[in-house]
């Protein structure tokens, strides 16, 4: 009986999933049942698939109640090779959108719940919903869970109404749009031939208006206005919209939960907003947001706050150069105001994840850490070739002796520095982008803000030829083709 109970419990858990599961035998018939459906092709052993699974499940639950509903499904490619081969699946996870049983498009959206939900909502139904009565408008605005853009128009064929549709088509993955031509609705809301941004009930506060009217009449200008206002004075920053927040940005991390605890969430948000409004009214230019501390634990780790806990918000900031800052004092409105002022006035030291500065004396390959990055890599008198590596990376280990040999061959070249940096133990400065290992950049003198990514071969001769050709000044010991000069180094002029 106990075994039977366990089996029934496991069955109940499995059946609770809102993600549908298709196989080779039923894929075509089941996909055909849905006007629109997102299908994930996965492998059980795939790490990326495992990370996606809980986000995909959350999105499936959210989209199940959408109007119209959007289904999410999955196919195990290790057990259903025929279907996966038919749709050209070559990596995992692969996500595809189907309409009326036919493949429609590759999924090009985010891989977290909020982003998946918004992306698929934008693909389901019209990009702009027509609301034909006062009741329709009332219901839409009362049930909106996020900011909502509404167009109030007298004439369907007006240029503004047509431009509004173009704006909705372009921005429907970011926001929901609606429009009405109903005279009673225009009279009740007192808008005529205007575009209005409405906040949902959960975001309303005394520190900003719950609706804003756009005075622009041109497509691009309307889009710009919406982009500048859609997040409000202090927006809810999620994994799906994080890149939308401009900098300098101050973020309050705590238990943000607009589903189960609206009152508690707004208790702290209102305090951040009060400070933000005061400083913005005085002419300060910056942006603020609140984020769920659990959802962004990885980001807090970048600030050295991976183990941070507490009942009060944790405050961080990023400036326009992507430098990171941490408010070390306990959260109070006075401390927050002081931190923001000091941050904007350049009185706060940026946080750097960095190993100790090494002694590079006598080393052919110079070791760079975050704290000496500017000194070595951004030295305007030197061309620098820098390798970003990870200690565990096999390709990096294979490259190490060749990279050292290259540095030794160029040891007498005063204008070249060969450097390396452990990108797992140090912050990588902008504009460098490291998404795999090893990643190699060439930073020529006089152009340190525009380093060039190295994509050539990884033998010593490949590096020599590249540096001989790209170096700002001709190398002493090598021709521009990377060949060693006859008679050694060229003579210095007297």
User: For residues 237-253, b (16+ Cβ closer than 10 Å) or e, as one string?
Assistant: bbbbbbeebeebbbbbb
What CA–CA distance (Å, rounded) separates 424 from 377? 18
The beta strand positions in 383-432, using DSSP E, are 383-389, 416-422
325, burial (CB in 10 Å: exposed 0-12, middle 13-18, buried 19+): buried
Phi-psi region for residue 438, left (φ > 0), alpha (ψ -120 to 50) or beta?
beta
Structural Rg of the chain based on CA atoms: 28
Distance of alpha carbon 133 from alpha carbon 95, whole angstroms: 38
Catalytic pick among 49, 77, 128, 214: 49
Structure tokens at 279: 């400083």
Crossing angle, helix 113-123 and helix 47-64, to 10 degrees? 50
Residue of 6, 46, 84, 214 with catalytic role: 46
The single residue of 128, 214, 234, 396 carrying the catalytic annotation is 396
Q: Give the three-class secondary structure for 452.
A: strand
Alpha-carbon dihedral angle through residues 297, 303, 309, 310, given to the nearest 10 degrees = -120
Residue 49 known to be catalytic: yes
- Map tokens 């064929």 to a residue: 157
Catalytic residue check, 393: yes
Which residues are designated catalytic?
46, 49, 393, 396
């Amino acid at each position: 009986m106990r075994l039977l109970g366990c089996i029934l419990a496991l069955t109940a858990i499995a059946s609770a999933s809102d993600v549908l599961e298709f196989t080779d035998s039923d894929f075509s018939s089941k996909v055909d049942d849905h006007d629109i459906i997102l299908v994930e092709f996965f492998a059980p052993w795939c790490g990326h698939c495992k990370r996606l699974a809980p986000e995909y499940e959350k999105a499936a639950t959210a989209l199940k109640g959408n109007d119209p509903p959007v289904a999410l499904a999955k196919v195990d490619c290790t057990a259903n090779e025929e279907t996966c081969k038919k749709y050209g699946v070559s990596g995992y996870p692969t996500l595809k959108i189907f309409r009326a049983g036919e493949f429609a498009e590759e999924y090009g959206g985010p891989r977290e719940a909020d982003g998946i939900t918004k992306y698929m909502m934008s693909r389901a139904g019209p990009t702009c919903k027509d609301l034909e009565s006062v009741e329709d408008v009332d219901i839409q605005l009362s049930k909106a869970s996020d900011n909502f853009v509404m167009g109030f128009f007298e004439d369907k064929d007006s240029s503004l109404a047509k431009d509004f549709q173009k704006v909705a088509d372009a921005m429907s993955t970011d926001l929901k749009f609606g429009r009405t031509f109903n005279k009673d609705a225009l009279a009740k809301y007192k808008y005529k031939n205007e575009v209005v941004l409405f906040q949902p009930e959960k975001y309303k506060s005394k520190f900003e208006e719950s609706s804003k009217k756009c005075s622009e009449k041109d497509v691009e200008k309307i889009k710009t206005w919406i982009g500048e206002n859609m997040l409000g004075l202090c927006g809810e920053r999620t994994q799906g919209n994080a890149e939308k927040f401009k900098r300098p940005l101050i973020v309050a991390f705590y238990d943000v939960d607009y589903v189960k605890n609206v009152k508690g969430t707004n208790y702290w948000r209102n305090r951040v907003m009060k400070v933000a409004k005061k400083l913005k009214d005085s002419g300060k230019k910056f942006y603020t947001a609140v984020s769920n501390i659990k959802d962004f634990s990885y980001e807090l780790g970048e600030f050295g706050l991976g183990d941070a806990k507490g009942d009060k918000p944790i405050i961080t900031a990023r400036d326009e150069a992507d430098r990171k800052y941490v408010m070390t004092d306990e959260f109070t409105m006075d401390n927050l105001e002081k931190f923001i002022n000091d941050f904007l006035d350049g009185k706060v030291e940026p946080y750097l994840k960095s190993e100790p500065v090494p002694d590079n004396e006598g080393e052919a390959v110079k070791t760079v850490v975050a704290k000496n990055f500017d000194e070595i890599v951004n030295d305007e008198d030197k061309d620098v070739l820098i390798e970003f590596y990870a200690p565990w990376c096999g390709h990096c280990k294979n490259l190490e002796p060749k990279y050292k040999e290259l540095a030794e061959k160029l040891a007498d070249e005063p204008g070249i520095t060969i450097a390396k940096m452990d990108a797992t133990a140090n912050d990588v400065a902008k504009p460098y982008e490291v998404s795999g290992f090893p990643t190699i950049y060439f930073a020529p003198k006089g152009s340190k803000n525009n380093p060039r990514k190295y994509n050539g071969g990884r033998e010593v001769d490949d590096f020599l030829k590249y540096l001989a050709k790209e170096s700002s000044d001709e190398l002493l010991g090598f021709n521009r083709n990377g060949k060693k000069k006859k008679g050694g180094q060229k003579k210095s002029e007297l």
